[in-house]
Amino acid sequence: MTALARINRFISRLEDSLLIGLVAGLLLVAVTQIILRNVFGAGLLWADPAMRIAVLWIAMVGGMVACREGGHIKINLFDMYVQGRSKKVLACLAHLGATLTCAALAYASWLFVSYERIDGMTTFLNLPAWWFESILPVGFGVMTLRFLRDALSMTAHSDEMP
C-alpha cells in the first residue's frame, strides 16, 4: 500500500469515526436534555447550542463522506436521454460545477470564520465561535478537492462511466 493510500485510508477512518461520534453525542445530549426537562423542569444551558453545532459538524462531515463515496445528491435529468460520451461529458461538467461551487463556499466560509475570529464571537461556555465554525472551510475545501479529483478521473479514464 502506498503512502498516499494509507493517508487516504486514515482520513476516511477519521471522518467515519468523527461522524459516528458526533451522531452518538448528539443523541446522548438530546435524550439527556429531554429527560432533564421532563423530570426536573430544567435542562442543561449549553445543550441546545451544542446540539446546533453538532448538527453543523454532522452535515459537513457527512458531505465530505458523501463526496468520498460518490453518494452526494445527483440530479439525473439527462440520464435516460443521453448516452455514451455525451453522458460522460455532462457528468464531468457537473463535477466541475460542484467543484467551483464548493470552492466558492470554502472561500466565503473562510472569510466568515476569519471575521468571527476577529470579532471575538463566542458560543456556549464562552468558547470562541470560530473553533466550531472552522468545519465550514475545511469541509467545503475537502469537498472541492474530491469533486475536482472525480472530474479529473473522468477525463483520464474515458472508458469508465461516473
The answer to whether 162 touches 154, Cβ cutoff 8 Å, is yes
53 domain-assigned: yes
Grid cell digits, residue 158: 474515458
- Which structural domain range is residue 81 located in? 3-156
90 domain-assigned: yes
161 domain-assigned: no
- Number of domains present in the structure of the chain: 1
Tens digits of residue pLDDT in 10-59: 999 999 999 999 999 999 999 999 999 999 999 999 999 999 999 999 99
29 domain-assigned: yes
Per-residue confidence band for 162, with pLDDT thresholds at 50, 70 and 90? very low
Calpha distance 125→71 (Å, rounded):
36
| The pLDDT of residue 158 | 59
Grid cell digits, residue 83: 448516452
Calpha distance 115→128 (Å, rounded):
12
Q: What residues form DSSP beta bridges with 128?
A: 122
162 domain-assigned: no
125 domain-assigned: yes
Distance between terminal CA atoms of the chain? 25
Tens digits of residue pLDDT in 47-105: 999 999 999 999 999 999 999 998 887 777 777 788 888 888 888 898 999 999 999 99
Per-residue confidence band for 156, with pLDDT thresholds at 50, 70 and 90? confident
Q: What is the pTM of this model?
A: 0.87
Q: What is the largest CA-CA distance in the chain?
A: 64
Calpha distance 84→159 (Å, rounded):
9
40 domain-assigned: yes
